[in-house]
Structure 1
Amino acid sequence: MKNLSWRLIAVLVVIVMAAVFILPTATMYLKGTNEPDMWPHKKINLGLDLQGGMHLVLEVQTEKAVENAMSLKISDIRQALRKIAMKNRGVALVDQSSKLNVKLLSPDDLPEFKGIIADDFPDLEIASTSESGGVTLVTLAMKTAEAERVKKFAADQALETIRNRIDEFGVSEPDIRKQGENRIQIQLPGITDTKSAKDLIGKTATLQFRLVDEDSDVRTALETHAPAGSELLYLERKDATTGAESSTPMLIKKRVLLTGDSLTDARVLFDNMANEPYVSIEFDRKGGHIFSKVTGDNINRRLAIVLDDTVYSAPVIRTKIPGGKAQITGGFTMEEARVLAIALRAGALPAPVKILEERTVGPTLGADSIRKGVWSMLMGGLVVILFMAVYYKGAGLIADLALVLNVTLIAAGLAAFQATLTLPGIAGIILTIGMAVDANVLIFERIREELNLGQSPIAAVEAGFEKATLTIMDANVTTLIAAIVLFQFGSGPVKGFAVTLGIGILSSLFTALVVSRLLFDSILRKANVKTLSI
């Protein structure tokens, strides 16, 4: 009776916990709401293939991250050369590469220059040197180990930045993970505004404050090239009423006065005078001090607000602006302003990203997948239940009861662990139903053997469970190991299958070895059954 007591307590505790976790999902679908309103406010999450949404595979342009890191070295090298008064014709980034060219006016300065690089820039190395017209050209490159570190950091930072942006965008249950060294897989279940999501994810969000070059002629720059120290960028405008877009060329100074790294907040506000939304930004203490100095030193000049090489606005500085606050205007719609504010709050991507793969699953297709998956599960379960009832008679009904509890426990496990149910996951549940019955078949056949040997029903049941337990454990544990490996190294559908399979194996062991044994013992001992229907 001691064994009966602990089994009964364990089964009751498990059933109560399963009910607690499965009821919020059940009431949610019965009421037709999107979020559960019952404690513990956890529901079964549906994957992309079941509720529709967007699937993206992005590639982080890590080479660009190395190029950006090298460009930051330019001012440091210039300052080091200026400090020792070494004459040169400039330090510049080699076009379309991650190398720097340094032009020394005297070949005799080369040994000293090599010493500076070795002492002050240990992550750089001299790739080549050449002489032409009395000028020594030194090409610098980042060391291989440092370049790999920068690339890895860029991919990891891009993953976190994109995750922060999506969290603020309001997508529930997103699946964001790395693939290989520089790829990111994103699944956004239930999302309908795919364009805004792609714009938000792909926006580099490199915010810069630079002066407008008002001393040079834009037309001349368009016909020939931009003057030294400036570049041609475009002021993008969109008419909120007609939706017409326009691009105005502007000459913008290359020197960056302030970047978005100093941002602490970005939010959408509405300008009642202009009747349009704008993005209000706020800097940290250091950034606020720099912004105050920049505006104070450049009164009556135009300050361009540049995001990802696009000019959003270029207002005239009328007075010094203390307090570290500014506005970004650009004829935004509310949604455009919201996406921009999210991108700025989440931070800039360390390198551009490229969309390699894009798939959109409509909600209708997802609903159809759910219907077919549920029907297949019901039909498979019904066939198994009928077979067990016909072939094993009364004992088969006990197995059927344990089977229903098994499926209930799987659903409760998915809700409790906030796992995502996918179409392959439903296949995993169907496979688990078969495995659960397989355990009962082993037990029942052992019981039949004991009964044929003349054992009493109680002794036959005890011997049947004891002799079948080790075999059942071996079979299920090996399958559980396979499920763990699939979960660890798989992705997408494979991982969804592994989740339900793993939870199903654990619940199958519980229902076959504990619940079925409890039901047998209760019937045989309390009802004093002399013959066993098996």
Structure 2
Amino acid sequence: MLNRYPLWKNLLILFVLVFGGLYAAPNLYPDDYAVQLTGSRDVFQVDQVLLDKVTASLQREGVTVKSSELSKNAGLIRFPTGDDQLKAKDIISKTVGDDYIVALNLAPTTPSWLTAIGAGPMKLGLDLRGGVHFLLEVDLPKAVAQKLENYASEIKGRFREEKLRYRKMDSLDNGALAVKFTTAEYRDKSIELLRKEYQEFTVSGEDRDGDFYTIINLTEQAVRDIETYAIKQNLTTLRNRVNELGVAEPLVQRQGRNRIVVQLPGIQDTAAAKRIIGKTATLEFRLEAKTAASSARTEVYEFRNDLGRKATLEKDIIIKGDNVANAQSSFDENGQPQVNITLDSKGGELMARTTKNAVQRRMAVLFVEDKERTVYKNVGGEQVAETIRYQEKGIISLATIQSVLGNQFRITGLDGAGESSELALLLRAGALAAPIYFVEERTVGPSLGAQNIEMGVMSVQIGLALVLIFMILYYRVFGLLANIALAFNLMLLIAVMSMLSATLTLPGIAGIVLTVGMAVDANVLIFARIKEELANGLPPQSAINSGFGRAFTTILDANITTLLAAVILFAMGTGPVKGFAITLSVGILTSMFTAILVTRGLVNLTYGNRQLTKLSI
């Protein structure tokens, strides 16, 4: 009896091994330190002229540039060391100003022939290679002010419905609203209405110089509720935006009273991450002011994509971006980009109520963005950076209302398909309840320290070396064949992790160490069975066949129970636990393939085609 695989099975094993080798190969090419340069808006393009200007400024400052390249309207400048990268970021920021986003990056060096087949390196977690770390601050006072502004528009509508005439409504320095009425009767009725319908207010009346005022204050509990909601909503929105970016194992969590930490392990396009995460992208829908409208109730805004063109809008806001339930980018019949908007029930009701009496008037869509810029001032002969925060509003659409609008309509007048898809993404992910600002932005190194990482890698090396030595000393030729299969197992494990875009963390390395032990455990069971069959007097070829056949059920049972435990860990765990579970699950599957099929194939090639009197086992 000879042990041979049919040709198709040998070819299948060879195909899997070659395929795994190709997709594991990108991990041999380490990433370059880089700085990515992109325009803050589509109108600001990165071209070769700008890239040459930046490169020249870096050379003047003594920063070594490895290479520079243009890709999809973005510039990428590579550096030999991390120190050069960090120094270059500040120099580039001063050179290009606030019209461009300058972000730290790790640029892949995978050969084009590998990327052409979809092969890429495995992502490493923040505890191994690092990634992008953002510390964001939530502007809670602005959240309260925005909520009060929404209440003001709503209260004005209620006063008009109840025919309570008032002269004006002002915001006081302490965050309260003061409404000036024409008579004491209107003032008293307003107080009664507000106390009945708005439990979040404390309402009082005042007489000043013959005028009648209603003073509206948010209660302390209402302020706390608004702040808590703003943090929770921002956390939810940021998580949604990170999910839209497709980042593996991100961290988005609250830090302290008003800060949020966002960590994106292994992220490549940090410029896009910063732009998507940091944008407020709030929309305001307002009616264009009538010719005779009072200047106290109107505001003038410029068009975002038609500088110099202006329009006068009413201050009252119909709805805002947080009333958007869904948003999808598409193109109209003329091939121009647009965003199809679906409002929630409240937004649809407000829109219908307003447009009911505004047919043939024009309605503007106002794009509101909270921004910040860095200004460098000379203090004592040194350049000191100062951050200035401001709000930028611009009209993106001004169209005539042809009929009463409901909860579905579209926005046109956008600056290219890129802006329409980005706006739809931001609205779909959810509006930020309060502006957020970048307090800190950096690429982080190993959070556990270089020594711990070195010890983690060393544990894999030592464990692997001990297993290899034991297998050769105890099982001799069979041990050598098992070691070759074990090397293929590690290669396949890395290939599958790379193909799945899984993130390897330090607990993941522990999963690899465990996989090494479990992979040879299967071979130990097989070899022990072969030795038993030889001791029972079976010929060598029959012993080999019986050993692989009878040990299969035991190996399958053991690996299935471990795989179930790994699946439960993945389902119930978070963060590092998930990383361990993924590595362990993939390792179990690859080890079963190599321990049973690959090892058997190697044994067949070594012993299967000849008559044997004894085995080296």
> What band does the TM-score fall into relative to the shorter chain?
0.5 to 0.7
Displacement, 1:82? 1.0
The answer for the alignment partner of 1:85 in structure 2 is 163
Other structure's SS at 1:186 match: strand
The answer for the alignment partner of 1:155 in structure 2 is 235
The answer for the alignment partner of 1:13 in structure 2 is 12
Displacement, 1:433? 1.0
Q: 1:476 aligns with which of 553, 559, 577?
A: 559
The answer for the alignment partner of 2:406 in structure 1 is none
Residue 76 in 1 paired to residue 154 in 2?
yes
Residue 37 in 1 paired to residue 149 in 2?
no
Structure 1 residues 109 and 343 mapped into 2: Cα distance closer, same or farther (>3 Å)? closer
Q: 2:480 aligns with which of 391, 397, 400?
A: 397
Displacement, 1:371? 7.5
Displacement, 1:435? 1.4
Tell whether the 8 Å contact from 2:20 to 2:492 is kept in structure 1 after alignment: no
The answer for the alignment partner of 2:105 in structure 1 is none
Displacement, 1:432? 1.0
Other structure's SS at 2:432 match: coil
Tell whether the 8 Å contact from 2:202 to 2:217 is kept in structure 1 after alignment: yes
Structure with the largest fraction of strand: 2
Structure 1 residues 429 and 456 mapped into 2: Cα distance closer, same or farther (>3 Å)? same
The answer for the alignment partner of 1:255 in structure 2 is 315
Structure 1 residues 85 and 409 mapped into 2: Cα distance closer, same or farther (>3 Å)? same
Other structure's SS at 1:187 match: strand
Displacement, 1:413? 0.9
CA deviation digits over 1:72-93, x for unaligned, max 9?
2431331122122135687788
Tell whether the 8 Å contact from 2:238 to 2:252 is kept in structure 1 after alignment: no
Displacement, 1:130? 6.3
Tell whether the 8 Å contact from 1:200 to 1:343 is kept in structure 2 after alignment: no
Structure 1 residues 450 and 191 mapped into 2: Cα distance closer, same or farther (>3 Å)? closer
Q: Distance in 2 between matches of 1:2 and 1:455?
A: 13
Q: Distance in 2 between matches of 1:284 and 1:468?
A: 61
Q: Distance in 1 between matches of 2:135 and 2:563?
A: 30
Structure 1 residues 446 and 503 mapped into 2: Cα distance closer, same or farther (>3 Å)? same
Other structure's SS at 1:526 match: coil
The answer for the alignment partner of 1:217 in structure 2 is none
Give, as a single letter, the amino acid of the residue that structure 1 aligns with 2:494.
A
Runs of 5+ unmatched residues, structure 2: 31-107, 287-295, 300-312, 330-336, 342-357, 372-388, 401-410
The answer for the alignment partner of 2:612 in structure 1 is 529
CA deviation digits over 1:192-235, x for unaligned, max 9?
989x976874453558899xxxxxxxxxxxxxxxxx9899xxxx
Give, as a single letter, the amino acid of the residue that structure 2 aligns with 1:478.
T
Other structure's SS at 1:505 match: helix
Tell whether the 8 Å contact from 1:304 to 1:311 is kept in structure 2 after alignment: no
CA deviation digits over 1:100-122, x for unaligned, max 9?
8989856567776677x4xxxxx
Matches within 5 A, 1:51-200: 51-56=129-134, 68=146, 71-86=149-164, 105=186, 107=188, 117=197, 125=199, 154-161=234-241, 175-176=249-250, 178-179=252-253, 185-189=262-266
Tell whether the 8 Å contact from 1:27 to 1:36 is kept in structure 2 after alignment: no
CA deviation digits over 1:151-174, x for unaligned, max 9?
76553333334566xx5xxxx966
Structure with the largest fraction of helix: 1
Q: Distance in 1 between matches of 2:319 and 2:170?
A: 21
Q: Distance in 2 between matches of 1:176 and 1:492?
A: 8
The answer for the alignment partner of 2:390 in structure 1 is 310
Q: Distance in 2 between matches of 1:9 and 1:399?
A: 22
Structure 1 residues 361 and 138 mapped into 2: Cα distance closer, same or farther (>3 Å)? closer
Q: Distance in 2 between matches of 1:285 and 1:388?
A: 64
Displacement, 1:510? 1.9
Q: 2:598 aligns with which of 515, 527, 531?
A: 515
Structure 1 residues 179 and 478 mapped into 2: Cα distance closer, same or farther (>3 Å)? farther
Structure 1 residues 508 and 373 mapped into 2: Cα distance closer, same or farther (>3 Å)? same
Structure 1 residues 504 and 513 mapped into 2: Cα distance closer, same or farther (>3 Å)? same
Give, as a single letter, the amino acid of the residue that structure 2 aligns with 1:82.
R
Q: 1:204 aligns with which of 259, 264, 280?
A: 280
CA deviation digits over 1:44-73, x for unaligned, max 9?
223144444323465867997687456424
Give, as a single letter, the amino acid of the residue that structure 2 aligns with 1:159.
R
TM-score for the superposition, normalised by structure 2: 0.53
Q: Distance in 2 between matches of 1:400 and 1:482?
A: 26
Q: 1:418 aligns with which of 501, 510, 516?
A: 501
- Aligned identity (percent) is 34
Q: Distance in 2 between matches of 1:91 and 1:510?
A: 75
Tell whether the 8 Å contact from 2:569 to 2:581 is kept in structure 1 after alignment: yes
Displacement, 1:503? 0.8
Root-mean-square deviation (Å): 6.0
Other structure's SS at 2:537 match: coil
CA deviation digits over 1:284-312, x for unaligned, max 9?
799xx99x9799xxxxxxx9997456166
Q: Distance in 1 between matches of 2:482 and 2:369?
A: 68
Tell whether the 8 Å contact from 2:140 to 2:227 is kept in structure 1 after alignment: no
Q: Distance in 2 between matches of 1:94 and 1:527?
A: 97
Tell whether the 8 Å contact from 1:58 to 1:184 is kept in structure 2 after alignment: yes
Displacement, 1:441? 1.7
Structure 1 residues 382 and 452 mapped into 2: Cα distance closer, same or farther (>3 Å)? same
Other structure's SS at 2:586 match: helix
Q: Distance in 2 between matches of 1:512 and 1:61?
A: 57
Give, as a single letter, the amino acid of the residue that structure 1 aligns with 2:390.
T
Instruction: Name whichever of 125-134 and 446-455 sits farther off.
Output: 125-134
